[in-house]
Amino acid sequence: MGSLKLHHFSIESNYTNYKYDISVYVPPIQAPMDGFPVIYVLDGLSYFPLAKQIVHLQSRNTMKTKVESTIVVGICHQEETMHSRRFYDFTAPAEKYHFPAHTKGKLNHIKEVGGAENFSSFITEELKPMIESQYNINKSQQAIYGHSLSGYYVLWSYLTRPNEFQTYIAVSPSIWWNDRELFCFLQNSDIKNLGPIYIIVGEREGFMVEDAVHFYKELPTRINQQLFIATDENHASVVPATMSRAFRFCFEVNNR
């Protein structure tokens, strides 16, 4: 295997009126006949470096690791606006928003929320076509990965847009957001179309563990739907502790 092949570019979305930095890892081998699988990593500024390194190293021995050579796309916010912008891009539109007591007023300064539909349009109408035009990818093996608030977005997308990706990975999802509205989306979703999803949460994440377990139990089937509670991990440590496991899930469900 050769050295890392990384590409970086920016794209200004007509749907969100925001410029995203995009980082792309391309396996240094010839693409399979059907093209490379692709994993879209949200909060790419934080998690793309780890994601591309995991794929690069573990795909050297797919027989053991089950991780295949894969294109990794990191969707990155601008660093100076990342904190506030996440609350717009990753949350669903609603008539009212409830900020729970555990936030202790820390979110009172957040002025813009509810942009998930626009963000979804950015991904499907602008970013994915660009990636598909530039790289040899397998359109039937596309996954999305998100942690915390972007994990909420992954679940929302899974329930409302189940055909945009073939695999959904939600790590420590913020199910608490807006009075746990995801359960309403779950009740109103077309359960027949729900596909593979992997929900991960750290054992030391308190009420977030209860939320994840509750959400998982409400899913209509256990086929290609898994919940993993990472022993002794917290909200920060759960990502590096479980990302390899999460990526392995993508290929296990596609190969069944």
**Positions marked active-site:** 148, 205, 235
CA dihedral 238, 239, 242, 244 (to 10 degrees): -170
CA distance 89 to 150: 9
Which one, of 183, 182, 188, 253, lies nearest residue 223 by Cα? 253
Does residue 104 come out as left (phi exceeding 0), alpha (psi in the -120 to 50 range) or beta? left
Under 8 Å CB-to-CB from 222, ≥6 apart: which residues? Answer: none
Q: Are 216 and 199 in contact (CB under 8 A)?
A: yes
CA distance 146 to 152: 8
* Three-state DSSP state, 99: coil
